[in-house]
Amino acid sequence: MADFIDFCGDLVKQAIRKGADEAEVFLTSGRESEVSTRLNEIDTIKEAATRGLGIRVIKNKRLGFVYSTDFLEDHLSQLIDSAIELSAEASEDEFNGLAEPLPNETTDLGLYDPRIRKLSAEAKIDLCRRLEKTMFAYDSRIVNSEGAHFLDGESNVTIVNSRGISDSYNSSYCYLYCVPVAKQNGLLQSGYWLSFSRFLDRLNSPESVAEIAAERTIRMLGAKVPRTCNAPVIFDQLTGASLIGAVLLAIDGDAIHKRASFLVDKLNQVVASPLVNIRDDGRLRGGPGSAPFDGEGSPTADKEIITDGKLGTYLYDTYTAKKAGARSTANAQRDYSSTPDIGGLNFYLQKGPHSPEEIIGSVKHGLYVTNLMGFGLDAVTGDYSRGAAGLWIENGKLAGPVEGITIASNILDMLKKIEMVGNDLGFMGPVASPTFKISQMTIAGA
Amino acid sequence: MANNVIGPGDQAPDKPEYIDQALDSHRIERLLSIALSRGGDFAEIYFEYSITSAIALEENKLRQAQTGIGQGVGIRVISGDKTGYAFAESLDFENLKSVANVASHIAHSGRSAGIPAVSAAGVVQALGEPLQTVPSHVAAKAKADLLWRANQAAYDKDSHIKQVNASFVDSSKFFRVANSLGVMLDNIEFICRLNVGVVAEKGNVRQSGYHGGGGRVDFSYFNTLTPEAVALEAVRQAIVKFGAIKARAGPQTVVLANGWAGVLLHEAVGHGLEADFNRKKTSLYSDRIGQKVASALCTVIDDGTIPYQRGSINIDDEGTKSTRNVLIENGVLRGYLCDHLNALHLKTKSTGSGRRESYRHYPLPRMTNTFLMAGPYSPDEIFASVKKGFYAKSFGGGQVDISNGQFVFEVTEGYLIEDGKITAPVKGANLIGSGPDVLEKVVMVGNDLKLDSGIGTCGKNGQAVPVGVGTPTCKISQITVGGTAIEGQSLAEGEV
């Protein structure tokens, strides 16, 4: 992708020539495709080649930013003028500055599979039909569908800045999911399951994905509202990942600096049970969140975030690191239309020794939560309250579906009450978790 | 404010001049005929040119000023219930022809609807009086002034305020939509929003507050909704939480405040009435038109024609004029929100509800401004009728499951109601229920209908669009409140 590097490099030079002290161009370009079937008929075929670029300039310690999807030379030249003019509107900030080039290992992270783009629309439609066929065959109560979907794409990310960073990488992805709708006694339930991979041959089979989706839907039929109580709550892979995502938000170096996080002033302190080990690994081979460098061009790494319950680091980009007197952890994340925010790479709770069955078996009365709804996290206090649905556990066995409930606690309390961690870690997205058990939460129902 | 307006020549035009050559009626006819070359019932070209600007203040500094251009063309072909869609950013005509060709592959019949001649673009009339001072045309300095004023007001109000984050975001969106029915329209819409977030700290306890407002308004709107007022509301929300008690978990009588609490209707019924779910019969409201789905006190409207409101649209993203749609009338389901595709299938007309986030997406049936009509009671009468209950004053976001109707939304400011009086503030509450069940339990509706201040964004299938919501004060006889406090109950007694 030398073309893009040269193209971005020329824009950086132009910005400097026009008076910027520092300049950076971040460009993404690629294609995306989506195919879906519903009730065995083709529903949607979407295909696009897409691109965009963002230009950050710093002049007199002031920051201006512009982006565009229009790459005409004259228009980009006007845009650079705008960026420099806009920088004059911003305040002087001594911490403004772009990333410095650092040596970066050029190991293959397994992010690009050239076979994905060769997959024909017919082959994708066939995968979708197999998803729906399996899910309808699973149980006669599955009577409808929000469709079977196959999405894929590939992109090139290029970054060039005036301090000497000039880098580029390609990645690809594909995923499939289906949404069965089941009916019993006139009432509907829907569910879903998915598989994600950067390589076509590592995607789970449509049959295995559809069976899980069907099972997750069927088992919710006849859901009741349980009585309000305090009880243990087991999070599965999907709902667990959402809770681990809340930890990710709380260690954002920008939120920490603004004291807008429940993990302020907690560095090197115990914030979770000793069973909790969380990593952020930008170099996981084939990982959904893997990348050789972050949104500013800094080389990514594998980091211990929480080790045996102790918080080891916050996450920074170049700007927030300077403010905190720390080094960037290469967690700048962005697309072309924004300046960097802080985000995770492959951010996950490490697996523990227990099978999900053992964890369920350890609960006398409690909730196995498989679906979370709505918002309900106060990022500053850690107060947590979410809509939930799942399966009730009686004497170590799944006893029946429940819905119409909320689960509530404070995240710091929840992290300390994690008393079993499962061995079933799997990456369905960049934030991942195995099954785990929290010894007590408040469940509001009838 | 006139001195803040950038003169012609400085400001990029809302409509790019080159579009009249790049996508004139001849080229559009050519693209439509390529799109329908393999058959199909309908083809559409959507060109968009959006300019979005933002300026943000944090830690007593204007952190950055930015602007961006989103330009692209999306081409759609409908064949029966099937959709083919392709888009690209480049306006190069050879490139657009190949985009049309990609979209055409959805159809196989070989029989296509004929294409009438497309006339020159009609220009859509904006709702209400034209804006005198379009926020997108105002210099960054004037917007920065609003932020500085909000910042000052927040710090001056309370010494516990430790952080103030304020931002002003605005955009202009020009689109040209043309289709195989011979329609070709140009539309320009403006939108803006002022946001203020604060963090307060007492000892080692921290609390946050947020408020914002805007819409498709004139810049002078911020003389009425002043940055000081927005900031003080954010401060008030943060400070009140210091004294808050834990929310009591379980079913309770709930009074909803007027305004933004209308998000309950958006979640509880609005999404379930979008026509795509009802064409597919995956909504619990499928096939229920004419049936009773709510208490007789409930009349729910979706109205995209209210001038200057955030959710309003001159025309939808398919070129259909926006309308006022009665969804539920005195408790009886009257209609669904339809876009073109679903209207064809359901043999009805589009309700002007086909909306999309950008040229990168095909339209879906979506809400605009959704609200509950006012009833007979004063808010005082409503509170006085509650012996023990929960007052939900301000909200975060919500979500709904279309199939079973379960919805949830977050209460960011709540209070106990005791003997008809609003008493202690409550933190960490959520409301959960099923749409039809909760709407059946609406037992009192106030006379104080209010729309929200212009902060709502709705997400569906990965597409975000601006929406409005509204409600009068109303009383729900019972809804489950989520929280951490349990009254008179010991551990682990729960059973199904």
- Within this chain, do residues B181 and B259 fall inside the same structural domain, yes or no? no
The CATH architecture of the domain made up of A116-156+172-218 is 2-Layer Sandwich (3.30)
More confident position, A136 or B267: A136
Burial class (CB in 10 A: 0-12, 13-18, 19+), B381: middle
**Contacts of residue B484, Cβ cutoff 8 Å, sequence gap at least 6:** A385, A408, A409, A410, A442, B246, B247, B249, B428
8 Å CB contact between A35 and A125: yes
pLDDT over 80 (residue A256): yes
Q: Please name the residue of chain A whose CA is at the shortest distance from the CA of residue B139.
A: A89
Least confident segment among B310-314, B437-441, B488-492: B488-492
pLDDT reading at B9 higher than 70: no
Q: Is the pLDDT of residue B492 over 50?
A: no
What is the count of structural domains for chain B?
Answer: 2
Q: Do A386 and B63 touch (CB under 8 A)?
A: no
Task: Tell whether the model's pLDDT for residue A1 goes beyond 80.
Answer: no
Least confident range of A12-26, A102-116, A371-385, B6-20? B6-20
**From CA B448, how far away is CA B376, in angstroms rounded?**
9
- Among B196, B150, B396, B164, CA closest to A259: B164
Query: Does the pLDDT of residue B300 top 60, yes or no?
Result: yes
pLDDT at B114 over 80: no
How many other C-beta atoms lie within 10 A of the C-beta of residue B290?
9
* Residues B55 and B96 both lie in one domain: yes
pLDDT single digits (tens) A314-340: 999 999 999 999 999 999 999 999 999
The CATH number of residue B211's host domain is 3.30.2290.10
Secondary structure class of B153 (helix, strand, coil) = helix
What Cα–Cα distance (Å) separates residue B150 from each residue in B133, B208, B227? 21, 16, 5
* Statement to judge: residues B191 and B322 lie in one domain: no
Distances (CA, A) of B257 to B240, B271, B397: 16, 21, 15
Contact B227, B153 (CB under 8 A): yes
Structural domain spans, chain A = 116-156+172-218, 223-446
On whether both B358 and B380 belong to a single domain, the answer is yes
At B74, is the secondary structure helix, strand, or coil? Answer: strand
pLDDT one-digit tens code per residue, A7-40: 999 999 999 999 999 999 999 999 999 999 999 9
Of A91, A188, A386, the CB nearest to B404: A188
Are both B172 and B276 inside the same structural domain?
Answer: no
Q: Do A241 and A433 touch, CB atoms closer than 8 A? A: yes
Label residue A420 by pLDDT band (50, 70, 90).
very high
What phi and psi values does residue B473 have, to the nearest 5 degrees? Answer: -55, 135
Q: How far apart are CA B120 and CA B115, in angstroms?
A: 15
CB-nearest to B55 from A68, A89, A383 is A89
- Assigned token pair, B462: 């990965």
Q: Are A165 and A292 in contact (CB under 8 A)?
A: no
Nearest CB to A406: which of B199, B397, B482?
Answer: B482
Could you say which DSSP state residue B99 is in? H
- 8 Å CB contact between B494 and A443: yes
Residue A430, CA distances (Å) to A245, A281, A286, A334, B123 in order: 10, 10, 11, 14, 45
- Cα B236 from Cα A176, distance rounded (Å): 46
Average of per-residue pLDDT across B379-389: 97
Name the helix (H) or strand (E) containing B438. helix B435-440
For B123, the domain range is 2-242
Is there a domain that residue B490 lies in?
no
Residues A32-55 as b or e (16 or more Cβ within 10 Å = b): bbbbbbbeeebbbbbbbbbbbbbb
| Alpha carbon distance B361, A383 (integer Å) | 36
Q: What is the pLDDT of residue A169?
A: 95
Flag whether B494 is in a domain: no
pLDDT at residue B10 in the model: 46
Decide: helix, strand or coil at residue B443: strand
Q: Helix, strand or coil for residue A240?
A: helix
Q: How far are the Cα atoms of A229, A437, B402 from residue A401, in angstroms, in the given order?
A: 16, 18, 18
Strand partners, A302: A281
Cβ(A182)–Cβ(A190) below 8 Å: yes
Token pair 């104080």 is found at B448
From chain B, the residues in CB contact with A392 under 8 A are: 494-496
Give the pair of three-digit tokens for residue A400.
């029946």
Q: Among B180, B213, B242, identify where a domain stops.
A: B242
Chain B residues whose CB is inside 8 A of the A35 CB are none
Q: Are residues B251 and B114 located together in one domain of the fold? A: no
Spatial distance between the Cα atoms of A255 and A258, rounded to a whole number of angstroms: 5
| The dihedral formed by the CA atoms of A107, A109, A115 and A119, expressed in degrees to the nearest 10 | -160
Mean pLDDT, rounded, of chain B: 91
Q: State residue B35 phi and psi, 5-degree precision.
A: -60, -35
Closest CA to B461 of B361, B375, B369: B361
Residue A374 binned pLDDT confidence (cut-offs 50, 70, 90): confident
In the structure, what pLDDT confidence band is assigned to residue A153 with cuts at 50, 70 and 90? very high
> Which residue, B204, B413, B174, is CA-closest to B314?
B174
Give the span between the Cα atoms of B461 and B363, in whole angstroms. 11
Residue A218 has φ and ψ, to the nearest 5°, of -60, -40
Q: What tokens appear for B117 in the block?
A: 């001649």
Residue A374 Cα, gap to closest chain B Cα (Å): 5
* B489:A226 CB<8 A: no
**CB–CB contact B140 A89 (8 Å):** yes
Per-residue pLDDT, B486: 82
List of chain A residues whose C-beta atoms are within 8 Å of the C-beta of residue B58: 258
In degrees and rounded to multiples of 5, residue A137 shows phi and psi of: -75, -20
Q: Give me the residue from A44, A230, A403 closest to B406, CB to CB.
A: A403
Burial class (CB within 10 angstroms; exposed 0-12, middle 13-18, buried 19+) of B152: middle
Q: Do B188 and B267 belong together in one domain?
A: no
Q: Would you say residue B487 has pLDDT above 80?
A: no
Q: Is B400 helix (H, G, I), strand (E, B) or coil?
A: strand
Residue with tokens 């079933």: A424
B62 to A337: CB separation less than 8 angstroms, yes or no? no
pLDDT tens digits along A339-352: 999 999 999 999 99
Which of B196, B227, B242 marks a domain boundary? B242
With bands split at pLDDT 50, 70 and 90, how would you rate the model's confidence at B110?
Answer: low
Instruction: Give the Cα separation of B375 and B174 in Å (integer).
Output: 39
**What is the reported pLDDT for B189?**
95
Do B251 and B214 share a structural domain? no
- How, if at all, do strands A418-421 and A436-444 pair? antiparallel
Facing A365 at nearest CB: one of B65, B486, B495 = B495
Q: Chain-wide mean pLDDT for chain A?
A: 96
- Domain termination residue (choose one: B198, B224, B242): B242
Q: Beta partners for B192?
A: B170, B215
User: How far apart, in whole angstroms, are the C-alpha atoms of residue A189 and residue B401?
Assistant: 9
Please give the Cα distance from A168 to B133 (Å, whole number): 43
User: Residue B165, Cα to own-chain centre: how many angstroms?
Assistant: 23
The values of phi and psi at residue B366, to 5°, are -140, 160
Question: What token pair was written down for A383?
Answer: 């107060």
Summarised one tens digit per residue, pLDDT across range B466-484 is 999 999 999 999 999 998 8
- B291 and B222 in a common domain: no
- How many Å apart are CA A152 and CA B367, to the nearest integer? 29
Q: Cβ separation of A374 and B433 shorter than 8 Å? A: no
B126 lies in the same domain as B266: no
Contact at 8 Å (CB) between B106 and A34?
A: no
φ, ψ for residue B27, nearest 5 deg: -65, -40
* Chain B residue nearest residue A387, CA to CA: B408
Asked if residue B2 has pLDDT above 60, the reply is no
Strands (E), B149-202: 161-179, 184-202
A38: helix, strand or coil: strand
- Name the band, by pLDDT with cuts 50, 70 and 90, for residue B3: very low
